[in-house]
Every structure is written in C-alpha cells, then in structure tokens.
Structure 1
Amino acid sequence: MTMLWYLLNCSDENSVLSGIISQQTHFLTITTRKLQQWRVTHFSGTDMESVEGSDILEWLMTILHNIAMFEDNVPRVRDVNCIEAMKPYLDSKDNTIRLLCLATLADLVNESESEILKSNSEVITFLMWTISTALEIEERNCDGWSLVELARIVHQVARNDNNKRTVVQHGAVPLLVKISGSGNIEEQREAVRAIWTLSFDEQNRTEMIETKKWKVIMTLEKMSKSSDQTVKRISNKALWTITDHQKSLQTPNGGLEDGKSTGSVNRHIMISYNWGHQPMVKQIRDNLRNSGIKVWMDVDDMQGSTLQAMAKAVEQADIVLVCYSFKYKNSDNCRAEAEYAFQLKKKIIPLKMEMNYKADGWLGFIIGAKLFYDFSGKYPVEKKTNELIREILESLNRSTKVLVEVPEHVVKSQQEPVLQAEKPVMSGAKPTEGKTTVINTVRKWTPSQVEKWLDNNSLPKKLLGRLRGKDVAFLRLLVQECPSTFYQTIRDQLDLKDVKSMSDFRFALEDLDTDTHSSSSL
C-alpha cells in the first residue's frame, strides 16, 4: 500500500514516471486483474470503509488515470483489457470511483467504444453536477477534483464525435463559459479547449451561435484578447471553427472551390501532422524538397497569425499530406486542417505514422478508402518515400497538364539490404553466417544475456537495462535500414546523447556478430 501510494503521488501529471509505469506490462496486468476481483465486493452493498484494503481500488484507478492522461501510454493500457475491467465502475455509488472511472475511460476509448460513455447518462449528469458544485466553492474544487481537472474530463469525453452532442445536451457549454470567466489561466485554457472540441459538431455550433444566453461568442471574443497566448490562440481557433470558417466557405473569395489554388507562384504540397511525429515528418519533407517539390511545413513557414497561416497554406496547396495517427485524430488543430482541406476538395494523400492504428470517426470519414503510404516503421523509409514522390508528381501531371518528369528512383538507401543471408554483415562475422542468423539469435536473448552483452561492452545499464533481445535485434536492423531514424531513436528514447555513449552503443551493435558466436557464454 505504501508503494502504491508513492506511485500514485509521483505519477500525478508526471509524463516520465507515468511512461515508465506504462511499460511494466506485468504490473498493468495485475492492476486490471485486481479491478476485476474487487468488483463483486464493491457492488455487494458492503460498507467499503469497513473492508480492509479497500483503498487499493481507488489508488489503482488513480494510477491508471495518471498513466492514461498521456497519449503515448494509451495503447499499452488498452492492451491489458483495462476498458472492460473499469467499465462496470461507471455505476459505482462511490462518487470518487465513478469519476475516476469516467476520467480514465474518456482517455482510453476510441470512436467505436465511445457508446460506453454515451449510454451512461447518469455519470455525465454527475460530472456536470460536480462542476456546478466546484464553481460555487471558494476553493473551486469538489471532492478533490479541481475545475481544471473537471474541464479536462469534459474535453476528453467529447474527443469522440459520438459524445459531443450528449455532453452539450447535459449542460456543459454554460458551465465551461462560466469557468472561462474566472481569473485562473489554467481553468481558462481547459475550458476554451473543451468548447473548441465541442464546436466540431455542426448542431453544437448552431446552438453556440443561436443560444445567446450561453454567451459563447462573446466569451471567446473576450478570451481571444487574453494576455495568455494559449488561451488567445485556442479562442481564436474556436471562433474560426464556429463562425469564420463557415463564412469563408460560403463567400466567393473566402474559400476556394474544387481544390483550386491561387496561382502557380504560391502552390505547394502541405504537410498536416501531429508534433509527436515531427522527426519522421521532417525526413519526409527533406526528401520531397530534394526531389524538387515545394513543401509547406509549419516549422518553416508559419508567419504571423497561426490561424491565418494554416488557412492560407491549405488554400494554396495542390496536395495535402495527412500524416495520421491516434494523436492526429485527437488533435483539434489537426482536425481543423484536415477538415478544411476536405471541404475545399483538396487532394488528400494519407501517410500512416503509427503501426496498428486504423483511422476512425471524422478521420476515417476523410481518409476513407484512399491509398495510404505507410511510414509507421513497417517498411524502409526510402521505399515508401519513392512511392510517395511518384504519386505526388503523377498527380501534379494530371492536375496541371504540365509534364513533370517522374524518376524511377528518387531517394536511394545508403545501406545494403539488411536481411541478406548470403553476405556477412561485418568484418567480424564468419563467412558462413549472415545477417539473418545474427538477428534471429539476438531476438531470442534472455534478459541475462542482454545484461551480459551490456556488461561486456561497458554500456550503461541504467539507460539500456530495459532492452529485450528483440529490441537489440531491431536496433541492429534499424542502423542498417535507416541510420537517421536510428540515431534519432537512441537520442530521444534511450537518452544516448553524447558522442562517447552513442559510439559505444553503435559499435557494440556491430560486434553482435562476434557476440552471437559465443552466445553460450552469455
């Protein structure tokens, strides 16, 4: 219990520790099992305060909530069947448990699962009651839930379109407007963010405009002049989604019809992406530019108002590359870009950035059955880049009727194919053993074998001790297939940033050929 209490407090709004906990699959599995075991006792009508150890239920749920707040952790929590384990607790008579369950499930469920929240009308009603109560209390919290946290729950519940209308029908908008009127910047940020998310539903937009007593437009206009840049930016984007962008699509000069751009001088390919995939997107951008294609990307071309720059970028684009993933689908910024491109009938080419992710909801509607290019790591980047460049150039040929040379190979790999058994990998490998043998052997390494390899090469176990044999084998493949991604990975995910640690690790991977021949000693 002491250790759980420690994890609970230290993981609160701590992305690093929450990420580490989420990687402990055995711990998450046990946690899910405990939730299932406590269900019978919890709903038996027994006074839980009299049951020894009953606090464990709330603490485990809080830890799961802390973990699920960060999108990178969501797939790992979903994989241990957490949704099914938590779902019954939406009907708990314990208000703390019920709200914890709602908050966690709101982070976890996808569009097809969102009915879980929509169908439980009472828990949404309870959420609104909790917000109303917190607004009346000087400390601005209710049962330990601050208005910042409560507004975030509204936002997360409304992530999926299936719930947007339900949340508004339960009275969320006036409460969010009231929160926005506070002098607390954190409260204002979460409130206007939730309003923006809700405004992506057409019926909600209409009510926000026509229901004057809600004062949505007036509040957003006031917040758009906030001294806080985040509040200011989100409020402006919410106003654009609710009013301005609808007007621009109806006026002759405001929006562009049938995907037409404003002239050859400013035409480009626009990349729409989530910042979580920026390293790979930059690599794609550079390859396109090296092939003579003009590319618009926010990190290079965002000048002046971010909203106006985004709208102009879409309007002047011949093609919009939608780099989609779970994070992209949950981002209001990305949705605004993708939906605007779709409404202007721009040609959209989807780029898949996350393995095992399938677009759903509004994103699935936009992508539909379009051919996508997989940059999730399943295939060599060079191969998919060449396919993408050919598609872009051929599309420009068709749309402009101007001949653009489509080369056979644009981006060439600097490395030999990785799995080529007839050739030795490095000078230290025996002629009779190739890369396939090395990789297959390392993949089967036990934790003790990995540890021995780290020791033999004087590599830091503090940073690399969590690697499995499969991970070492993958990194060996990666350094051959895509060196730039390899070095980005060891810097960002393994925290190997100085020359010495990077070179030690790189050459240790090269020495795997020798190590595998003496694997029995490992």
Structure 2
Amino acid sequence: MSSKAADMTDDEVLYKKGKAKIKKIVSKLKALDFNEVDQKTLIDEVDFDILRPMLLESSKMQDITMELLMDYQFLTVLQKIFERQQKDSKYWSGNAHLLTRLLRSVLYWGSESLGKMFLDVEFPKILVDNLSEEHLMNLTSKETVDQVFELVCCCYLAMKLNPNSRLEFRNRDLVKLCTHFMQKAGNDRKLTNELLFVLSYVADLDADPKALKATNKNLFYIHDRLKLTLKNDDHRSEIGFSAAEIFACISRLALSSDNAMFLIGHGIINTCEVVISDGFKDDEIQIALEFLWTLSFQQCGAREIKKNKYLCGLINSHKNSDNRHISDAATGILFQLNVDEELSQKLAGFKTQKSDGQQDEARHIMISYSWNQSEIARALAERLRLEDGCRNVWLDIEKMEGNILERMAEGVEGASVVVCCYSESYKNSQACRSEAEYAFKLNKHIIYINTQADYEANGWIGVLMGNNQHYEMTDSVKLNKILPDLTDRIKQLSTGYQPNQVVEMQTLPYCESTSVTASESEQEISYVSWNCEHVVNWIRMMSLKTDIEGKTREEGVNGNTLAELQHWQIGSPDFFLRFCESSLGMHDPMDILVFSRELRQLK
C-alpha cells in the first residue's frame, strides 16, 4: 500500500470508492444508445449492481452517494434520457418503467438538496407528461399499471423531499390525473394506496374542497392498512410504507371534515390511543399526536378527543417528554382543547408578567414562520436588526428552551408587532396556526408577508387576514424592495412613528374590501370604527342568557374584531364557534345562534 493511500481517512476512502462508481454510472447513462444497447441490462446494472448497494452500505455512504449524485448532475443526465425516451418511445416498448424505477431508487434515499434539484430541472413536468400518455390512461394491462405506479411513487417521494414541489405538481393538474386513476384502479389496492398518498400531499383542501374527499371504501382500507402495519414487527406495510408514513397520509386526508368524521366513526381515535401508549417508536407517537392536534381544530374532532378522558390523560403524560416534537404536539392539543388547568395558569402568568412588567418600547418584533421558511425568516431578522427602531427581533429558532406554549407565550405576549411569514407549509402547520390565532386573539398588530411564490392565502390564514394587506417576499431581491416600507410600518405600529410617505402594499386577492355601516343613536357610523363600549352596548340589546360583557371587555372586542368574526362565520365556522365559547364565554347554543344572526346583520 502506498504511503498516500495509508494516510487517507476512512471517509476519504469511502468518498474515493463512491466517486469511481458514480462516474461509472453517469458515463454509462450518457453513452446510452437506444438502437444498440439492451436498455434493461444497462438500467438493471446501474440500479441493482451499483447504486442500491452503495445506498445500503452505510449511512455515511448514503450521504456520500447523494453528494456525488449532485456533483455529477445525475438528475440532469436522467432528465435528458427521459426527454429522449418520450421522443423515441418506440425504442422503449416494455422498458419505459425502468427509467422511472431508477429515479424512484434515487428519490427514496434522496436528500433535501436533491429534492431542490429535482424541482430545478423541471422533473415534475416530465413525470406528469409521462402520466398523461394516452396508452396509460385506461390501465389496460399489468405493464401500464406498473408504469403508473412507478411514476406516482416518484411524485410522492419528490413532494416528500421538497414540499415546495407540491405547487408545481398541482399547477400541472396532478390532482386531476390522480383522481382519474383512482376511478380506473378498481380493486388494485397497491396503486390506490399510492394514489391516496400523492393526493394527500398535492391537493389543497381550501382551494379545491372536493380534491381530498376520498371514498369511504378507500378511507376504510388505508386505516386498516395502518392497523395491520402496526402489528408487523418492523411496522412496515407489505409494499414498504412505514406506519408513520401511513399515519401522515391519514392526517392530511383528515383535513377534509367529511373524511375526518368517517375516520372518527371508524375508530381512528382508538388507533391513536394505542399508538401513544408505551412501546411505540417516537416518530409514530409524534405523528399520532400531530394527527390529534389537527383534529382538535375541528369541532367534531375536539369533541371526541375531549370526552375520552383516558386519551386526554395519555396526551397529558407526553407534554413533558424529552422528545421536543412529542412534547410540543401534546402541549398543543391540550392548549387547543383548553383542558389543562396547569397550562392555563402558566399562560395567565405569562400574560400578567408581560402586561405588568414590560413597556411598549421594550417589546420585541416577533417573526412567526414555518420551518420550511426558516432561511427567509433568518434573513428578515438580520436585516431588521440593522434598522433603528426594529433591532429587538424575536425568532424562536434562537429561543429553543421551554415547550411550545412557553415559546409561544414569550414570543406573542412580549410582541408589539407580529410579522407573519406565511406560506402553504405555514397554513398546514398546527403550531403556526395556534401561534397566529393566539396573536390575533390578543389583538396584536400583525403584518402579513407571503414567502412562497405564486401562493394565495386561503383557509384559516386567509380568513385571519381578512381585508388586511400583505407584502411579497419570496427571495432576497423582494426583501430589499419591501424593507423600507416594512420597517416604517413596524415602527408606526409599535411606537406611533409616522413615516414620511404612504406605505403601499399589495392587497390580497383572497378577500376584497367591503364597505360596512351600522347605526348608533341618531348618527350613522361604520361599525368597524366601534370601540369596545360600542360593542358591549350592541350585545346588551340581544338579551342573551349569558352575561358576556366582562369577557367582551377583557378580550378588548371592537369593531375590527366583529369584522373579522364575519369572515370566520363563512370561511372558518369551527374557529368562529371556538372564539364564541373560549373568548366570549358563550356556551348556550341559543345565545350563539342569536349572536351569530345579529353579527350577520351588521352591514
């Protein structure tokens, strides 16, 4: 052995070995001749003899393989072959699925950077174009079913690696294609299962309410798959999905209230009860708790969880877990259900401490964001800290101590302004929803910033925004553009500072401005201009059974609050009902009906 080889570290030896193999893979694929080479032999060699053994060798070798695949532009090479295959399809009769299988192997073991590259080289277009091929649409043979399965698997794995690819797939009508294949798949449970996984990732319930509406038969099937998978020693299904993956799919399907009600009736809460008891893996306990957290935002789900005292006890036992994700999910459920006296007292303690001991000028600017937008949030925080009057920025990535409630209380309670950096992942996050709704409940000044290109706010975040305006900040260029107006706006809201020029922002297309008026005494004024006493007088005229004047004053309900409540009545009735019950103390159904009717009549 040469002295040079002897001096190499183990990592360097692995890297050298991996580099030689990846070079071999790429050169073979580049030299692929459709007329002369037996494609099956070549693809099988690349897939089974070289790539998979590397990925299965060790976790370190997996990391090295992914790094080398990026360095050698593997996806770009594969993309060119896909494009040629589409043009020269006659040379790939019977073997077309081999390329997709090779791509699936790479995506299965893929990294976050590989997921980003997948989107950069426009692979979503390639996969959807392949799925749209006329000879696949009717699933007339086993070969066509296998090919559709491989393509759908790639779509699922790509969205799992890079959630930002969901919008690209959605814009290319993947939802429509999957719905079509669901109808054609019949009793092919393997393909149906995969299509459900893809639909749960790609569909946006708020943009297309019917997209996630699965048939009862399919929901029954996937729940049974979960229960059977949990009984297997390795907690994997017969086609390779882990129990956590199946649970995550069910959780996304349950965003549809129709699906949620069927799953509750079919015993999904009992399955959660089993999973969060002792003996299951942390990732399974986490996803089961996160599923219950999602359900707790829906009236039917919250009611079923709340009445199961044993389940509430199990959830409570996990709130002090050493696993932060488990602790956060358990605490989030208890906070949402308002069933934990200890948490309520702790939160009240934070409110008293902040209101008594912190002047407005000492309060911070809180940035609320989802983890997918953490880089944008960091960049925003760094730039704001360079601006006078905006230096005191609170970012939870820098405040990791304590559970979610303590971090949320510290962030929201101590804020003069909350900057909400929203996106689709923000809307789909239980933690972000709890945080934003809590800031709104406390009447905090909220500035909304869209951080995802081509995304229009809808669902609960759209309802929360109401008529408010928002900024666009999807990259550093747009950050530079909005920063002067944004800092002026923050200073104006937090300290009363008046900028030299009018702040111009883009109006959100989700909610158009409306002109509303109401009368008081002999003079007509806009009810949006009402202060808290105006609202109290309006409530007195309803003659409700429950005295909610104290709560109305305590919560500081004003005309703006009533305007937002009108949006919630239509766009988020569950949230409207929760506000009436928890914030205003209305528990009598007739009181809520009267209040709701009178609110609708404010014009």
TM-score range, shorter-chain basis? 0.5 to 0.7
| 1:224 paired to 2:319 | yes
Superposed CA offset, 1:438-471 (max 9, x none): xxxxxxxxxxxxxxxxxxxxxxxxxxxxxxxxxx
Contact 1:161–1:361 (8 Å) recurs in 2: no
Identity fraction in percent: 22
- Mapped to 2, the partners of 1:198 and 1:255 lie a distance apart of 27
| 1:253–1:240 distance in 2 versus 1, CA, 3 Å | closer
Query: Who is 1:501 aligned against?
Result: none
Q: How does 1:196-345 map to 2 (within 5 A)?
A: 196-212=293-309, 215-243=310-338, 253=348, 263-264=358-359, 266-289=362-385, 290-293=387-390, 294-345=392-443
Contact 2:365–2:394 (8 Å) recurs in 1: yes
| 1:166–1:118 distance in 2 versus 1, CA, 3 Å | farther
Query: Who is 1:103 aligned against?
Result: 197
| 1:154 paired to 2:285 | no
| 1:187 paired to 2:281 | no
| Segment of structure 1 superposing worse, 315-324 or 221-230 | 221-230
- Mapped to 1, the partners of 2:143 and 2:383 lie a distance apart of 62
Contact 1:352–1:376 (8 Å) recurs in 2: yes
By how many angstroms is 1:256 displaced? Answer: 5.8
Unaligned stretches of 5+ residues in structure 1: 43-47, 399-403, 411-522
TM-score (norm 1): 0.68
Q: CA RMSD in A?
A: 3.2
Query: Who is 1:118 aligned against?
Result: 213
Contact 2:236–2:243 (8 Å) recurs in 1: yes
Report the number of matched residues: 394
| 1:331–1:13 distance in 2 versus 1, CA, 3 Å | farther
SS of the residue corresponding to residue 108 of structure 2 reads coil
- Mapped to 2, the partners of 1:245 and 1:311 lie a distance apart of 16
One-letter amino acid of the counterpart of residue 127, structure 2: L
Contact 2:350–2:413 (8 Å) recurs in 1: yes
| 1:52–1:381 distance in 2 versus 1, CA, 3 Å | closer
By how many angstroms is 1:323 displaced? Answer: 0.6
By how many angstroms is 1:33 displaced? Answer: 0.9
SS of the residue corresponding to residue 408 of structure 2 reads helix
| 1:185–1:66 distance in 2 versus 1, CA, 3 Å | same
SS of the residue corresponding to residue 356 of structure 1 reads coil
- Mapped to 2, the partners of 1:386 and 1:397 lie a distance apart of 16
- Mapped to 1, the partners of 2:488 and 2:474 lie a distance apart of 19
1:62 to 116, 138, 153: 153
Query: Who is 2:132 aligned against?
Result: 33
| 1:239–1:37 distance in 2 versus 1, CA, 3 Å | farther
By how many angstroms is 1:313 displaced? Answer: 1.7
- Mapped to 2, the partners of 1:39 and 1:246 lie a distance apart of 56
- Mapped to 2, the partners of 1:131 and 1:68 lie a distance apart of 21
By how many angstroms is 1:160 displaced? Answer: 5.7
- Mapped to 2, the partners of 1:21 and 1:361 lie a distance apart of 28
Contact 2:449–2:470 (8 Å) recurs in 1: yes
Query: Who is 1:94 aligned against?
Result: 188
SS of the residue corresponding to residue 280 of structure 1 reads helix
| 1:154–1:346 distance in 2 versus 1, CA, 3 Å | same
| 1:343–1:245 distance in 2 versus 1, CA, 3 Å | farther
2:444 to 346, 352, 355: 346
| 1:228–1:10 distance in 2 versus 1, CA, 3 Å | same
| Segment of structure 1 superposing worse, 181-190 or 368-377 | 181-190
- Mapped to 1, the partners of 2:135 and 2:224 lie a distance apart of 30
| 1:197–1:252 distance in 2 versus 1, CA, 3 Å | closer
By how many angstroms is 1:321 displaced? Answer: 1.0
By how many angstroms is 1:350 displaced? Answer: 0.4
Query: Who is 1:174 aligned against?
Result: 270
| 1:409–1:281 distance in 2 versus 1, CA, 3 Å | farther
- Mapped to 2, the partners of 1:155 and 1:234 lie a distance apart of 13
Contact 2:338–2:344 (8 Å) recurs in 1: no
| 1:393–1:21 distance in 2 versus 1, CA, 3 Å | closer
By how many angstroms is 1:221 displaced? Answer: 2.3
By how many angstroms is 1:185 displaced? Answer: 2.3
2:175 to 76, 83, 90: 83
Superposed CA offset, 1:78-127 (max 9, x none): 23211111112334311111111111010011123242322522211211
Unaligned stretches of 5+ residues in structure 2: 1-96, 504-603
By how many angstroms is 1:310 displaced? Answer: 1.5
| 1:73 paired to 2:171 | no
By how many angstroms is 1:283 displaced? Answer: 3.2
| Segment of structure 1 superposing worse, 269-278 or 279-288 | 279-288
One-letter amino acid of the counterpart of residue 382, structure 1: N
- Mapped to 2, the partners of 1:291 and 1:277 lie a distance apart of 25
| 1:163–1:406 distance in 2 versus 1, CA, 3 Å | farther
Query: Who is 1:366 aligned against?
Result: 464
- Mapped to 2, the partners of 1:100 and 1:252 lie a distance apart of 43
Contact 1:260–1:318 (8 Å) recurs in 2: no
